[in-house]
Structure 1
Amino acid sequence: MEPQSFANDGLSASDFRTPEFDDTLLNQNKNDFNAVPEFSGGIVIIADKAAMKVGGFIKADFISDLAPIDSEDSFVTTEIPVGAADHKNARFHAKQSRLSFDTRWRVEEDIARAFIEADFFGGGDGSNGSLRLRHAYGTLGRFTAGQTWTTFTDPSAVPQTLDFEGAVSNVNRRQGLVRFIQPLGRSGWSFATSLEDPTVIIEVPTGLSGQGRTESPDVITHLRWESDYAETQSALVLRKLGFQPTGGSVITGTAWGINITGSVHLTDCTRVYSQLTVGEGIGSYRGSPDIVSTGPNSAAILPMFGWMIGCKQAWSDRVTSNLTFSQLTLDDLPGQSGSNLRQTKYLAINTIFNPYDRIFAGAEYLYGVRENQDLRQADAHRIQVSFGFYLP
């Protein structure tokens, strides 16, 4: 389909493309549900010295759980109940479907960009879902402001699962930020630094009342290297955690984290990716506590360690498979409740078929384990079948 044009002054979508964002997406991210739609072809509106691409997809998920898990729409292994009576779930939904608008225009020698994307995961499990903001940010040159992937994550290392949740240790958070990226010559290296929205998850000690305080932004940097066959990124976050007991002064502590990711194209058809995360007080970057109760009147910043390994294999132009295994471990600090999370594991194996352009169908097996601090554990098994249609 040719782009729709309105008073376009002879411009086309290619006049507004930014290679650092788009070129790699065209060939490497087929069936990657976190990738930004390419800025070419399809529904592109060319206006007076500007262009807008309408993107997104419809994704229908058919889910069958063979063991108890309280998260029905996505495979959240921390919500595997330990000691629950045996039961199964069946769930059909299309909440991962997305709609995006990518608008670009020239500002002197640079291209300004405003991108907004939403899905329908705004409601809880069992509902029809409501519109939820995923991305809303703008870029000009090396500057970015808005809500998008945190600088602490590497979007290219997010596993290509049909499941919405993804690997348990993978940092896949999007949040408000201001960021500056500096390429280091033509070496393939770049440096980024940002101030980002702080989130604190606290398990308040029994007998106390109060709430978390976020008095300063998270400070994050990363160093990244990219080439045609491999890429790696090392990110560092420094943050200040706060808790204010009711009627008392704010108690603060320092937290930190390191996230190292990488991927290698072993062949034109095989890509291996990995991730390692370690730190203290960064559990909220993966949905677990930053601070945990260690007694009736005490709490401590919680150390964590996570890792992931995965592989994407293209069997043909129309068939791909993905294998991902991940594990997250939280320290067994003395005084914790025995029901607190100690360790969780996640395994996903899928095959995705593209019978026609912009249409896909896939099947995925998911396995997860939750282990509590008292060493009691439970596992879950899920079969997910998905069908999807990309906007042109």
Structure 2
Amino acid sequence: MLAGEACAQSVVVAPTVGLAQGEVATPTGTGIEVEPQVVMPVQFDWTQFDSVPSGLTMGSRTSAANARIDSFMDQRFDARSSLRNNFTDFPGFEGGLTVVSESAALKIGGFVKADLIADFDPISSTDTFDTGTIEIGSADRRNARFHARQTRLSFDTRWKTSGDIARAFIEVDFFGDRTGSNDALRLRHAYGRLGNLTVGQTWTSFTDPSAVPQTLDFEGAVSNVNRRQGLVRYQTPLAIDGLSLAASIENPRVLIEIPAGVQGSVRTETPDFVSRVRFERDWGEFQIAGVLRELGFQPVGQPVVTGTAWGFNFTGSARSSDRFKAYYQITFGEGVGSYRGSPDVVATSKTTAEILPVFGWMVGFKYSWLPSLTSNVTYSELHADTIAGQAADNLLETSYFAVNLIQNPYDRVFWGAEYLHGFRQNQSLASATATRLQFSCGFYLP
């Protein structure tokens, strides 16, 4: 359930006489057919009623349908879904627009988010604040942009199996390829989970969405691992309470800067092997993740050339009170730049290339001034090693700073303002900065 939805009660039509509560009678050629019930949230100030309003069936202010929805809730799926303005997590399952029967339930979720952006310096990424695209040496210019590409729609389906609950989850946004003024759908998540097994496309095991600061900007900190990809993952709790282990094989997406004098293709002959250990408590969480992968390239008419890449990602968060939360991250490795959208391999001459070592870190804080008013501050850096022969305009270092104020004035409504500042330095040591103001407004689906 999204924060602020506690007062939204699910309302059901009183059952037809002779049917079980929550079933709807419809005429068919053979008699009575039982259909799944659609549950819609309706706002009521219950203090204004001496009794339950006519036509509503309530039990301790909870409908029979909600009671059935509760039977599909699971800590594995819903541990963090109640966090307010958390754009990296999944919608809560209880309440809202839900179709529910005795053995299955479907929740339609998502939000509409509109962004008004004002850039004061040259930067190529006008929809997100990607500091790697800050333009060095360009003439001064400003830019205004208004879009709603972060808007999302999701379908969360759950059904009961023998002794467990199966889940299939699909989510899309509008960051697909653009055609003129039209924004195409993009698949974010499409996966199923049963027991300890997850199959499909979702967050890589190398990342930790719970340790991502809540920025209005879609891009986020430069060190954050923001990759979603196809995977098969097995995760299981360990003997210590709150400790868990996960291992996965994942899609081997590789980004190689091909030397100018070489023709060929990227080859991915083996999947990425990823594992993580996670520890969670009420006061926070800590995660260590590692990846081992093979990078391949095949010049035209020649055998495949391969190299081994590896990386580690240390992430976590800590809460000292209900008002304050801190986030932190350290990531490093060789040939793992694509997990953040940068190259794994860079060209060092017209015919040679080398695996690129990277190091990044992030710290962030969240403070709640009021139950409906929060601020977030985050700063991060990403450093790439200097390798002899690299192009002078290759990235050496970049940093990202964001501070915002977000208000939830009404149930399932938010708006806020954010200041962003970025820095980029090339291998030639030439550098530039960029500043942005972003105003956002959003409406969560019930």
**Normalised by the size of structure 1, how large is the TM-score?**
0.97
Give the CA deviation at 1:47.
Answer: 2.9
1:125–1:229 distance in 2 versus 1, CA, 3 Å: farther
Q: 1:344-383 CA distances to partner (integer Å, 9 max, x unpaired)?
A: 1000100100000100000000111111000001110000
Specify the alignment match of 2:152 in structure 1. Answer: 98
Give the CA deviation at 1:186.
Answer: 4.7
2:10 pairs with 1:2: yes
Give the CA deviation at 1:25.
Answer: 2.5
Give the CA deviation at 1:267.
Answer: 1.5
1:3–1:289 distance in 2 versus 1, CA, 3 Å: farther
Partner Cα separation in structure 2 for residue 254 and residue 217 of structure 1: 12
Selected match of 1:87 from 132, 141, 155: 141
Letter of the 2:10 counterpart? E
Contact 1:150 1:196 in 2 (8 A): yes
Give the CA deviation at 1:126.
Answer: 7.3
Selected match of 1:263 from 317, 327, 342: 317
Give the CA deviation at 1:125.
Answer: 9.8
Specify the alignment match of 1:139 in structure 2. Answer: 193
Contact 2:36 2:99 in 1 (8 A): no
2:305 pairs with 1:251: yes
Selected match of 1:18 from 53, 67, 74: 74
Any stretches of 5+ residues in structure 2 without a counterpart?
A: 1-8, 13-21, 23-34, 38-63
Selected match of 1:175 from 217, 229, 232: 229
Letter of the 1:360 counterpart? F
Partner Cα separation in structure 2 for residue 237 and residue 200 of structure 1: 13
2:379 pairs with 1:325: yes
2:202 pairs with 1:194: no
Show the 5 A alignment for 1:174-323. Answer: 174-323=228-377
Q: Helix, strand or coil: the match of 2:96?
A: coil
2:95 pairs with 1:73: no
Contact 1:72 1:125 in 2 (8 A): no
Contact 1:322 1:351 in 2 (8 A): yes
Give the CA deviation at 1:3.
Answer: 6.4
Structure with more contact order per residue of length (Cα contacts < 8 Å, sep ≥ 6):
1
Q: Helix, strand or coil: the match of 1:12?
A: helix
Give the CA deviation at 1:114.
Answer: 0.2
Specify the alignment match of 2:440 in structure 1. Answer: 386
Give the CA deviation at 1:166.
Answer: 0.5
Partner Cα separation in structure 2 for residue 380 and residue 47 of structure 1: 53
Specify the alignment match of 2:98 in structure 1. Answer: 44
Partner Cα separation in structure 2 for residue 326 and residue 178 of structure 1: 30
Letter of the 2:71 counterpart? D
1:166–1:113 distance in 2 versus 1, CA, 3 Å: same
Selected match of 1:56 from 99, 103, 110: 110
Selected match of 2:207 from 132, 153, 173: 153
1:202–1:181 distance in 2 versus 1, CA, 3 Å: same
Partner Cα separation in structure 2 for residue 330 and residue 253 of structure 1: 18
Contact 1:3 1:43 in 2 (8 A): no
Partner Cα separation in structure 2 for residue 45 and residue 3 of structure 1: 13
Letter of the 2:99 counterpart? I
Q: 1:290-320 CA distances to partner (integer Å, 9 max, x unpaired)?
A: 0001112111000000000000111111001
Contact 2:80 2:89 in 1 (8 A): no
1:292–1:3 distance in 2 versus 1, CA, 3 Å: farther
Greater shift in the superposed pair: 145-154 or 45-54 = 45-54
Partner Cα separation in structure 2 for residue 137 and residue 380 of structure 1: 37
Greater shift in the superposed pair: 275-284 or 38-47 = 38-47
Contact 1:312 1:321 in 2 (8 A): yes
Contact 1:281 1:291 in 2 (8 A): yes
Partner Cα separation in structure 1 for residue 217 and residue 345 of structure 2: 28
Contact 1:3 1:46 in 2 (8 A): no
Partner Cα separation in structure 2 for residue 125 and residue 322 of structure 1: 34
Alignment: residue pair count: 390
Letter of the 2:443 counterpart? F
2:411 pairs with 1:362: no
Selected match of 1:111 from 148, 161, 165: 165
| Structure of higher CA gyration radius | 2
Specify the alignment match of 2:28 in structure 1. Answer: none
Contact 2:169 2:192 in 1 (8 A): yes
Give the CA deviation at 1:233.
Answer: 0.1
Partner Cα separation in structure 1 for residue 351 and residue 79 of structure 2: 54
1:199–1:316 distance in 2 versus 1, CA, 3 Å: same
Q: Helix, strand or coil: the match of 1:135?
A: strand
1:329–1:210 distance in 2 versus 1, CA, 3 Å: same
Give the CA deviation at 1:23.
Answer: 3.7
Specify the alignment match of 2:30 in structure 1. Answer: none
1:382–1:175 distance in 2 versus 1, CA, 3 Å: same
Letter of the 1:99 counterpart? L
Selected match of 1:346 from 400, 413, 420: 400
Partner Cα separation in structure 1 for residue 435 and residue 113 of structure 2: 21
Q: 1:173-217 CA distances to partner (integer Å, 9 max, x unpaired)?
A: 100000000100352100000000011111111211111110100
Give the CA deviation at 1:286.
Answer: 0.4
Letter of the 2:87 counterpart? F
**Normalised by the size of structure 2, how large is the TM-score?**
0.85
Partner Cα separation in structure 2 for residue 127 and residue 186 of structure 1: 53
Specify the alignment match of 2:49 in structure 1. Answer: none
